[in-house]
Amino acid sequence: MHDMADEEVEEEVVAFEAVYADECTIVQRWPPHVTVTLKPGTAADISVQFVEAVLEIKANDQYPAVAPAFNLKDTKGLDDRRHAKLLSDLHAQVDELSPQPLLLVLAEVCFELVIYSILL
């Protein structure tokens, strides 16, 4: 990995940690492998928490030149159709935005899509 790319990815992982704090786990810093629990703002009140998902993002040693792999785990409140749509929409975003750092972008887009899925 080149020094510039190394620094850029390290900054991205630090920013990811800062933004998602208690909701994320940094499994590995290089190549980045992170998870983040995404749930609506009402999630503190379990009685109104209907949707939740854990987004796992795993890059290879060519990241960010090569887009990371990702998956939704431990989903709650997403039927198979919504789960598939969410993954499809995320793949479309990756195809559109790659190659660039995508950890924060993927998490934010996934969060918005999880929120949107409540409205469907």
pLDDT higher at 118 or 15:
15
Please report, in angstroms and rounded to a whole number, the separation of the first and last CA atoms in the chain. Answer: 43
Mean pLDDT for the chain overall: 83
pLDDT at position 81 is 84
pLDDT tens across 36-55, in order? 998 776 545 555 457 788 99
Which residue has tokens 């995320």?
Answer: 90
- 1 pLDDT above the threshold of 70: no
For residue 15, the model assigns a pLDDT of 94
Check residue 31 and give its pLDDT.
93
Helix/strand/coil for 26: strand
- Res 19: pLDDT: 93
pLDDT digits (tens, 9 = 90+) for 50-106: 778 899 999 999 999 999 999 988 888 778 888 888 889 889 988 888 888 889 988
DSSP-derived 3-state class of residue 25:
strand
Q: Which run of H or of E encompasses 82?
A: helix 80-97
pLDDT tens-place string over residues 96-119 = 888 888 899 889 888 887 776 655
CATH number of 3-119: 3.10.110.10
- Check if the beta carbon of residue 81 is closer than 8 Å to that of residue 95: no
User: Which residues 6+ apart lie within 8 Å of 101 measured at CB?
Assistant: 8, 9, 12, 64
Pairing of strands 52-58, 24-28: unpaired
